[in-house]
């Protein structure tokens, strides 16, 4: 048995407590699989928490002290936030210590720098826990599918958004009511902006796309759209058309480069991603040799995230981490495709005057922009009034077209006298043509 892997844990929140609990409860399994014991030397946090078993580690409020201790082999960053976490990760790598972090935000924005520092210092940088909690998607992309050329990946990678859309679909709740319940149940933060606006998912997509396609960490180039504009009516119309609305992160190689986008999406009910409910996550990867593989599980929480942290600890402990260092150090040079150039089918909800000939004129405008219609919902609607004029929604599902052409058609429609307000657009994906 080799000497212990001596670690310091920075942060003492729910994930850090989950790591300590796992190291205590599964010590025999972890030691056997790592080939040596994992010993917690230090814990640093803003404050100590009563009743938490520190496994004999010393406690400090000074983060720098754990980096300066030569006995520490590895630093686990679980403090959250950005500035202090970034400083801690950089200083630990420069000091020649392995680093594990669950902090998706700093990886998405500084991942290239961290990997170069790790490479220069000859240490490992582990971040399995930063994406999809307990789902081993980083291991899948860097090891399980290492022989493959990755063609695309798409996933439900934010549990809060998925819970809200599931609640709206299953019980007919409004977005506001579903968000309120998500907060009450602890699925959403007091400030849920990162979740509902898609920023959290964009961080995770950045990391996965970097590993899948040899990109740098290009968070600033990810198109990001949230779910706060989705209504229960949109969800019902999608159901009538045979779809469910999911908030997806999508990365796909196309002839022009690579698409990087996060947005609400209509997914056919028959496909696996459509059935992922509640706070669960799922990622589907399409590769040239393995074909379609899907990874499903809890995307957050103390247990699943701690599981991923300790998995990285075991890899580093047994000395294999450097061999699989997930390091897209050299950027592949793939261009990120502008949203105007992507091709998709579309759901359109068009608020239109309730009079004869309107649908024919709407169809004519779409045809003029080379947009063909796949399906329409035009059944009897309750008359709605706006500025003393009766109106009804025209719901259209189109065939695939470029987003640029669709945007031009929407401008033309909204300029017409028949359309009385903004047109709702939601992209449609089938994932069967990759």
DSSP result, 228-277: TT--HHHHHHHHHTTEEEEEEEEEEEETTEEEEEEEEEEEETTSGGGG--
Q: Which pLDDT score is estimated for 48?
A: 87
Q: Which pLDDT score is estimated for 380?
A: 62
Q: Which residues contact 176 (CB under 8 A, 6 or more apart)?
A: none
User: What are the backbone angles phi and psi of residue 352, rounded to the nearest 5°?
Assistant: -125, 155
Listed residue (275, 285, 248, 273) closest to 263, CA to CA: 248
Q: What is the pTM of this model?
A: 0.94
Sequence ranges of the chain with CATH classification 3.30.70.260: 343-428
Q: Which pLDDT score is estimated for 319?
A: 82
- Whole-number Å distance between alpha carbons of 305 and 412: 48
Active site residues: 204
Q: How far is CA 316 from CA 7, 9, 75, 95, in A?
A: 11, 15, 12, 17
Per DSSP, which regions of 110-203 are E strands? 125-126, 150-156
> Where does residue 228 fall: left (phi above 0), alpha (psi -120 to 50 degrees), or beta otherwise?
alpha
CB-based contact 260:218 (threshold 8 Å): yes
- Whole-number Å distance between alpha carbons of 57 and 137: 31
CATH of 5-130, one of 3.20.20.140, 3.40.50.720, 1.10.600.10, 3.40.50.300: 3.40.50.720
Q: Which pLDDT score is estimated for 215?
A: 87
Listed residue (394, 401, 392) closest to 428, CA to CA: 401
* Per-residue tokens: 239: 């159901």
Residues linked to residue 343 through DSSP beta bridges, in sequence order = 402
Sequence ranges of the chain with CATH classification 3.30.360.10: 144-298
| 201, containing H or E segment | helix 199-213
CB-based contact 178:164 (threshold 8 Å): yes
* Per-residue tokens: 408: 């031009």
Provide the 8-state DSSP code for 324.
G
- Whole-number Å distance between alpha carbons of 275 and 285: 17
Q: Which pLDDT score is estimated for 387?
A: 60
* Per-residue tokens: 63: 């983060």
CATH of 144-298, one of 3.90.1150.10, 3.40.50.150, 3.20.10.10, 3.30.360.10: 3.30.360.10
Q: Which pLDDT score is estimated for 333?
A: 80
Q: Which pLDDT score is estimated for 330?
A: 64
Residuewise pLDDT in 10s, the chain (434 residues)? 578 999 999 999 999 999 999 999 999 999 999 999 999 999 999 888 888 999 999 999 999 999 999 999 999 999 999 999 999 999 999 999 999 999 999 999 999 999 999 989 989 999 999 999 889 999 999 889 999 999 999 999 999 999 999 999 999 999 999 999 999 998 988 999 999 999 999 999 999 999 999 888 999 999 999 999 999 999 999 999 999 999 999 999 999 999 999 999 999 999 999 999 999 999 999 999 999 999 999 988 889 999 999 999 999 998 865 544 555 556 678 899 999 999 999 999 999 988 889 999 999 999 999 999 999 997 666 566 666 678 889 999 999 999 999 999 999 999 999 999 999 999 999 986 44
Surface-to-core class of residue 18, CB atoms within 10 Å of its CB (0-12 exposed, 13-18 middle, 19+ buried): buried
* Per-residue tokens: 188: 């959403």
Residues linked to residue 44 through DSSP beta bridges, in sequence order = 10, 60
Helix axes 159-171, 232-240, angle to 10 degrees: 70
- Whole-number Å distance between alpha carbons of 406 and 361: 16
Task: Give the DSSP per-residue string, 79-94.
Answer: --SSHHHHHHHHHHHH
Going edge to edge, which strands form the sheet with 5-10? Answer: 58-60, 38-44, 5-10, 74-77, 98-101, 125-126
In CATH, the number for domain 343-428 is 3.30.70.260
Sign of the Cα pseudo-torsion (50, 53, 57, 62, in order): negative
For the CA atoms of 115, 116, 121, 127, what is the dihedral angle to 10 degrees?
Answer: -10
3-state DSSP helix/strand/coil % of the chain, to nearest 5: 40, 25, 35
Sequence ranges of the chain with CATH classification 3.40.50.720: 5-130
- Whole-number Å distance between alpha carbons of 148 and 403: 30
């Amino acid at each position: 048995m080799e000497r212990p892997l001596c670690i310091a844990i920075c942060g003492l929140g729910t994930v850090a407590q989950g790591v300590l609990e796992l190291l205590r409860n599964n010590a025999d399994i972890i030691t056997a699989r790592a080939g040596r014991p994992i010993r917690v030397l230090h814990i640093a946090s803003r404050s100590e928490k009563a009743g938490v078993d520190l496994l004999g580690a010393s406690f400090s409020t000074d983060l720098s002290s754990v980096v300066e201790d030569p006995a520490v082999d590895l630093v686990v960053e679980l403090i959250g936030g950005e500035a202090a976490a970034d400083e801690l990760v950089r200083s630990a790598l420069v000091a020649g210590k392995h680093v594990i972090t669950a902090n998706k935000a700093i990886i998405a924005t500084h991942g290239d720098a961290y990997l170069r520092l790790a490479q220069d210092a000859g240490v490992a940088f582990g971040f399995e826990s930063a994406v999809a909690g307990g789902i081993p998607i980083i291991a899948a992309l860097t090891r399980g599918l290492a022989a493959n050329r990755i063609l695309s990946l798409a996933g439900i990678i934010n549990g809060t958004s998925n819970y809200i859309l599931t609640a709206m679909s299953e019980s007919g709740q409004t977005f506001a009511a579903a968000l309120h319940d998500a907060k009450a149940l602890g699925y959403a933060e007091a400030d849920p902006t990162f979740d509902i606006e898609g920023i959290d998912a964009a961080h995770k997509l950045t990391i996965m796309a970097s590993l899948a396609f040899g990109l740098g960490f290009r968070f600033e180039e990810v198109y990001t759209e949230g779910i706060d504009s989705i209504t229960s009516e949109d969800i019902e119309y999608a159901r009538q058309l045979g779809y469910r609305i999911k908030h997806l992160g999508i990365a796909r190689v196309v002839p022009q480069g690579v698409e990087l986008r996060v947005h609400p999406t209509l997914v056919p009910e028959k496909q696996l991603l459509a059935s992922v409910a509640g706070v669960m996550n799922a990622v589907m990867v399409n590769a040239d040799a393995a074909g379609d593989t899907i990874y499903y599980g809890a995307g957050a929480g103390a247990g699943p995230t701690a599981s991923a942290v300790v998995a990285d600890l075991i890899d580093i402990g047994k000395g294999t981490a450097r061999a699989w260092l997930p390091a897209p150090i050299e950027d592949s040079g793939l261009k990120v495709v502008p949203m105007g150039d992507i091709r998709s089918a579309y759901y359109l909800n068009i608020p239109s005057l309730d009079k004869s000939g309107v649908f024919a004129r709407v169809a004519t405008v779409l045809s003029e922009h080379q947009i063909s219609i796949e399906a329409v919902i035009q059944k009897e609607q309750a008359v709605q009034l706006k500025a003393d004029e009766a109106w009804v929604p025209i719901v259209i599902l189109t065939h695939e077209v470029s987003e640029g052409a669709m945007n031009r058609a929407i401008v033309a429609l909204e300029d017409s006298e028949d359309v009385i307000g903004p047109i709702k657009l939601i992209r449609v994906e089938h994932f069967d043509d990759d």
